[in-house]
Amino acid sequence: MDLRHLRAFVAVAEELHFGRAARRLGIAQPPLSLTIRQLERELNTRLFERSSRKVALTREGTALVEGAQRLLRGVVDWKQDAISMSRGDQGLLRIGFVSASMDGKLPEAIRRFRADRPRVEFELRLMDSETQKGALRRRELDLGILRAYQYALSEFDVTTYHSERYVAGIPSGHSLAKRKSISARAVRGESLIMLPRRQQPALRAALEQGLTAKGEGPRSIQEVDLEATAVALAAASVGIAIVPQSSTQYARAGVVFRPIRAPLPPAEFDAVVPRASSWQAARDFVSYLL
């Protein structure tokens, strides 16, 4: 049975007239009559009582017409859902994000996108950049919000939507806190507080290289998962926090922030979408970040 048979059956059942049903379907009456006979043979039952003066549903036809109507409505709804999904107007959007991105443009982008497309549902997953990269490759995420510094991402479309410099969060009682800025040479032998190497290996390596002067680097590095934690530990005089400039929002008593005069990479947020993805909602979401 195909949809052509169901449409013919429903049209005749609702019109109770083969001529009107044929015009409604945009076909001639003989092909419509043939289609109904084919359907009756397939179902091994008569659906209509026919005479020269009227057409009426049989008992079996009456019992089957509501189900046929429901099936056709379901097909229409399914088609509309498919079209809506292809346009990115509904469906599930799976987004991975690094924790620091929630302090920037991401929450507002989510709010505006949800307002514009209420039928799109969000699944948000907190992941570091390295973990997101793997999840995107396995198509477990539709979109990643991460720091893509020096990642081999040839199979992805990458859009940088935010860039800033790194600063030093210095304990207020430290001698370096009196300076207007600090150099790589100034942090030689100092204890630093930084995000873990496992989160962003290439970025961490570039930061350490930029903070090394004449082959000498920091005395030690305390790893923490969050920029806010790094600032808190700097305030507790555990060490000097190397954090993006936006981390100054975590300012508290006991810590001051100073620019760093060193060849450090920028702290960027990137929106990453698999290049082979056809999920339009993921691509459209990127524009809300810009």
- Give tens-digit pLDDT for 231-258: 999 999 999 999 999 999 999 999 999 9
| Separation between Cα atoms, residue 188 and residue 38, nearest integer Å | 88
Three-class SS state of 138: coil
Q: Which CATH architecture has domain 91-162+268-287?
A: 3-Layer(aba) Sandwich (3.40)
**For the chain, how many helices (H) and strands (E)?**
9, 13
Read off the pLDDT band of 36 (50, 70, 90).
Answer: very high
Give the pLDDT mean for 132-149.
94
pLDDT at 76: 77
Tell me whether the CATH fold assigned to 3-86 matches the one assigned to 91-162+268-287.
no
62 vs 278, higher pLDDT: 62
Residues 74, 269: contact at Cβ < 8 Å?
A: no
Three-class SS state of 167: strand
Q: What are the sequence ranges of the domains in the chain?
A: 3-86, 91-162+268-287, 166-265
Statement: residue 127 has pLDDT above 90: yes
Instruction: Supply 232's token pair.
Output: 């808190």
pLDDT at 273: 96
Give the pLDDT mean for 103-110.
94
Give the pLDDT mean for 29-40.
93
Give the pLDDT mean for 110-138.
94
- Within 13 Å of residue 136, how many CA atoms lie on the same side as its CB? 32
Give the pLDDT mean for 260-264.
96
**CATH number listed for the domain at residues 3-86:** 1.10.10.10
Read off the pLDDT band of 53 (50, 70, 90).
Answer: confident
Q: What is the mean pLDDT of the chain?
A: 92
| Separation between Cα atoms, residue 132 and residue 129, nearest integer Å | 5
Residues 164, 244: contact at Cβ < 8 Å?
A: yes
DSSP characters over 26-42? TS-HHHHHHHHHHHHHH
Single out the residue of 27, 8, 18 nearest to residue 49, CA to CA: 18
Read off the pLDDT band of 83 (50, 70, 90).
Answer: low
Q: Which residues contact 205 (CB under 8 A, 6 or more apart)?
A: 197
List C-alpha distances in Å: 206 to 90, 188, 230.
41, 16, 19
Statement: residue 72 has pLDDT above 90: no
pLDDT at 77: 74
Residue with tokens 């081999």: 152
Residue 55 phi, psi (nearest 5): -125, 130
CATH classification (class only), 166-265: alpha beta
Instruction: Supply 115's token pair.
Output: 């307002």
pLDDT at 174: 97
Give the pLDDT mean for 95-124.
94
Residues 259, 167: contact at Cβ < 8 Å?
A: yes
Statement: residue 191 has pLDDT above 80: yes
Read off the pLDDT band of 86 (50, 70, 90).
Answer: low
pLDDT tens figures, 155-189: 999 999 999 999 999 999 999 999 999 999 999 99
Three-class SS state of 252: coil
